[in-house]
Structure 1
Amino acid sequence: MKKLGIVALALFIQHVSAQANRFVYQVTMKPDAENKTDIKTENAYLDISQTQSIFYSENRIKRDSIMQKAFQGGGGRGNINREQMEGLRSNINYSVEKDKTNQKTYFKDRIGRDIYSYEEDRPLNWKISSETTKIGEYKVQKAETDFAGRNWTAWFTTDLPYQDGPYKFGGLPGLIVKVEDDKGDYSFDLMKNYKVAELPSLNQFGNTIKVKRAAYIKQQQKFRADPASFMNQSGGQGGFSTTMRMGGGRGPGGGGNQNPVDMKKRMEERVKEEAKKNSNPIELQ
């Protein structure tokens, strides 16, 4: 009985340690430089475990769930409800993973058929102020930093035992409750938090290619200039993944067998339209 008790205790401790805390942020964005009145708002999750954290769109995990069920049902793309997927479009097509063990941050984003991953090589140099206030139930302290061409103000709390935050932000003596740039183009606001069983396993259609940040930016520029040739040079899921990269489009697969010339034209038009709508990215440099 004693041995059984020890085993049960060990399993309980293992279960607790495997749990993660999910922090839900409301992300407010003005992605169109020519139309700042077009404000996009959606939720994103920051899931934190003992060894790592991952930041990603709430709609991303919902889309993944729909696709997984469709493919498990044996119907593939044909079983996916296009209107439902359209309703889950997201301006947050990337994910950010932080490895607590080696203090490294990894950014992942889809370009064409593949996932490109790079290690963030720019440190966050925070200037912590003595100014404090209260946001919701948390006592917070002010900190400022310049990052990727924007000036950011963060409010962090030591009421929660995490030195983390949304997007690439972190490294303060507490959890970031709010962070926004001085132009009011982007803000992340903590809404609520709760426990989850484990960190999610995000679907990674196509290959995952590790590159330097500068190489990722070049590939992104190439894709916007000539998306069709980008699709031809790599293996994987074809137009299905491109549609997902563009946030939904007309639905996975683009509607079955189509004229390649028409598909190429539509793809290029979609990429140009998307680039115009995202002419004010979160990172300016």
Structure 2
Amino acid sequence: MKILKILSLLAMPLVMAQQSTRFVYQATLTPDSTNVEKKTELAYLDTDGKRSIFYAENSMKRDSVMERMRATKNFDRSQMENLRSNLQFTIEKDLANQSLVYKSRIGRDNYSYPETPVFQWNILPETVKIGDYQTQKAETKFGGRTWYAWFTQEIPLQDGPYKFSGLPGLIVKVQDEKGDYSFDLMQTKKISELHQPLNRGQFITLSKSKYAEMEKKMQKDPVSFFTAQRSGGSGRGPAGGGGNRPGIDPKQMQEFQKRMEAEAKSKNNPIELK
């Protein structure tokens, strides 16, 4: 019994070393420049030190609801109404080479693009204590915005929320100059493994520029984009196609059109402006 106890104690550091960490951030966003009301939600950065994944808390909750509905065969989508997110993407990073894969949905299709962002950080002398961490300020330009980050060397992980990385420590807080977007570390906890989001179908891999074109098409004419996909088009934007699916009721289509156009207009202030 003593030998078994000693062996179990020796195994404990190995088990601990295999644990991953979840950094919980509060995301504060202004997706609509015409509406000063900010949106707030939680987002997770899961990492094992070699790779990380950034995603919305509501995304994980939606996955959980979807799995439960599949198991019970009770598909009540009203359960997901309060789990909508303004962070409708996941970002998977390879921390060794500071590269990432951005994944999201446009219409009914899954898209992804690879990126190796270049952050030219200017580390400033200003320091401040945020929560339990002593942090230092840094500045960079990315996606058409000026960003300020506060990082801590107390957590020697060159990572942070969204696409941000490359500083000599974890990014505890990052916000753009106008205050439209900010991410603030709220909590840190150990997890057994990185979260694996549910994938509904295969991903279409594009370049970042092609993906941006697709998003612009969706914003400009979301209804025709959706209709093309329903009618048997390529699923890659507005394109003709016959298809055998029955048409949507005109009244439902009108309501759908109003809803989609209103939603598109409310997303006029993306996190990356270019």
TM-score range normalised by the length of the shorter chain? 0.7 to 0.9
| Structure 2: runs of 5+ lacking an equivalent | 236-245
Q: Is the 8 A contact 1:113 1:206 kept in 2?
A: no
TM-score norm. by structure 2 comes to 0.86
Normalized against structure 1, the TM-score is what?
A: 0.83
Once the two structures are superposed, the pairs formed by residues 274-285 of structure 1 within 5 Å of their partners are 274-285=263-274
The corresponding residue for 1:73 is 72
Alpha-carbon deviations, 1:126-170, whole Å to 9, x = none?
A: 111121111111100010000001000000001112111000001
Alpha-carbon separation, structure 1, partners of 2:265 and 2:196:
31
Cα distance in structure 2, aligned partners of 1:43 and 1:96: 15
Within 5 A, what are the aligned runs for 1:44-83? 44-75=43-74, 77=75, 80-82=76-78
1: distance between equivalents of 2:160 and 2:62? Answer: 24
Which residues of structure 1 form unaligned runs of 5+?
Answer: 236-256
Distance 1:15 1:73, change over 3 A: farther
1:101 aligns with 2:96: yes
- 2:28·2:39 contact (CA, 8 Å) conserved in 1? yes
* 1:126/1:144 contact within 8 Å kept: yes
1:112 equivalent in alignment to 2:107: yes
SS of alignment partner, residue 83 of structure 2: coil
Find the counterpart in structure 1 of residue 167 from structure 2.
172
Query: Percent identity of the aligned residues?
Result: 47
1:128 aligns with 2:127: no
Answer yes or no: is the 8 Å Cα contact 1:105–1:119 preserved in 2: yes
Q: In structure 2, the residue corresponding to 1:109 is in which secondary structure?
A: strand
Q: Structure 1's 7 and 203: CA in aligned 2 closer, same or farther, altered over 3 A?
A: farther
Q: Does 120-129 or 65-74 show the bigger shift?
A: 120-129
AA aligned to 2:108 is R
Deviates more, 1:218-227 or 1:60-69: 218-227
Tell me what 1:91 maps to: 86
In structure 2, what is the Cα distance between the partners aligned to 1:99 and 1:133? 29
Pair 1:266–1:133, CA change in 2 (3 A):
same
Letter of the 1:194 counterpart = K
Deviation at 1:10, TM superposition (A): 8.6
Deviation at 1:11, TM superposition (A): 6.3
CA–CA distance in structure 2, aligned partners of residues 7 and 100 of structure 1:
33
AA aligned to 1:269 is K
CA contact (8 A) 2:145 2:272 kept: yes
Aligned residues: 259
For the 8 Å contact 2:63–2:198, the answer to whether it is kept is yes
Q: Is the 8 A contact 1:113 1:207 kept in 2?
A: no
Displacement, 1:73? Answer: 1.4
Match of residue 189 from structure 1: 184
Residue type matched to 2:266 in 1?
K
Could you say what secondary structure the match of 1:62 adopts? helix
Given the superposition, is the C-alpha separation of residues 10 and 271 from structure 1 closer, same or farther in structure 2, using an over 3 Å criterion?
Answer: farther
CA contact (8 A) 1:113 1:234 kept: no
CA, structure 1 residues 10+202, in 2 after alignment: closer, same or farther (shift >3 Å)?
A: farther
Q: Which moved more, 1:58-67 or 1:6-15?
A: 6-15
Displacement of 1:269 in angstroms is 2.8
Equivalent residue, structure 1, for 2:238: none
Q: C-alpha distance in 2, partners of 1:208/1:114?
A: 7
Matched residue SS, 1:169: coil
Are 1:22 and 2:17 matched, yes or no? no
1:139 paired residue among 116, 134, 143: 134
- Cα distance in structure 1, aligned partners of 2:234 and 2:64: 25
